[in-house]
Amino acid sequence: MSGHVRIERDGPIARMVFDHPERRNAITVDMWDAIPDTVQTLQEDSEVRVVIMRGAGSEAFVSGADISEFERTRTGNAGRDYDALTARAFAALQSLEKPLIASIHGFCIGGGAAIALTADLRYAADDARFAVPPARLGLGYHTAGIRTLIRIVGFSETADLLFTARRVGADEARHIGLVNEVFAKNSLDASVDELAQMIATNAPLTIRSAKISLQELAKLEAERDTARINDSIERCYQSEDFREGVRAFLEKRKPAFSGK
């Protein structure tokens, strides 16, 4: 089986599930290829306000790229095609304008860690294990991935993770800023769902604008699209949700945001 990426919907919450449990959700070529279309589906679904990424089963978020395919997919000229495939997947995840949460249990290694790093928020079970192991495989780690890791955990921690290729437990991941919070494994799903529901009740256009600002500010200054930020802010001011938020505040009630 080559595994697949599937969507589960629960009202305004959607889950993108990496489903390859017989290989601890290792990502295959077919799965990498499916990610951009999956993200596009979630982006275009107006009912979806928050997306949670998780792995199927109980052993892993994503244990990495499927190494059983490497001799075929990452040797010689094929390696460039594979890199382009994964770059498209990462770009799609990073371009999603809705909040993206990684709910991480078990193994989160290599390509799995890179997928988790595309999320806006990362929450881990206490059994989570992280590693960035290209040094154990003789692979070069691309600049974009290193830049993302530096932005999240800093230069020194990035050097540690890349040079040693060691595994990091959930508590250390929390300490270095790799994850936002750690929960007991049996409460991870409920805790993440509660946080996602909290986000989903807020104004979607405001959340979108905040995410656009975060996306642009994470770029080098010369690459930032300030017009995109300003347009998203202006759209909030022109929205029905802004008027609803003001009315709800004055009437001392909870607002009912529509995303319009």
The answer on 238 and 191 residing in a single domain is no
- Tell me the DSSP string of the chain: ---EEEEEEETTEEEEEEE-GGGTTPBPHHHHHHHHHHHHHHHH-TT--EEEEEESTTTEEE--B-GGGHHHHSSTTHHHHHHHHHHHHHHHHHH--S-EEEEE-BEEETHHHHHHHTSSEEEEETT-EEE--HHHHTPPPPHHHHHHHHHHH-HHHHHHHHHH---EEHHHHHHHTSSSEEE-GGGHHHHHHHHHHHHHTS-HHHHHHHHHHHHHHTS-GGG--HHHHHHHHHHHHTSHHHHHHHHHHHHTS-------
pLDDT above 70: percentage of residues in the chain:
96
In a domain, 66, yes or no: yes
| Domain CATH number, residue 93 | 3.90.226.10
The answer on 174 and 141 residing in a single domain is yes
Position 168 pLDDT exceeds 90: yes
Greater pLDDT, 125 or 1? 125
Please give the tally of structural domains in the chain.
2
Query: Which residues span the domain enclosing 230?
Result: 203-251
In a domain, 257, yes or no: no
In a domain, 260, yes or no: no
pLDDT tens figures, 118-163: 999 999 999 999 999 989 888 888 888 899 999 999 999 999 999 9
| pLDDT, position 65 | 84
In a domain, 232, yes or no: yes
pLDDT tens figures, 64-94: 888 777 656 656 566 678 888 999 999 999 9
pLDDT tens figures, 96-114: 999 999 999 999 999 999 9
pLDDT tens figures, 171-222: 999 999 999 999 999 999 999 999 999 999 999 999 999 999 999 998 889 9
| pLDDT, position 233 | 96
pTM comes to: 0.93
The answer on 210 and 183 residing in a single domain is no
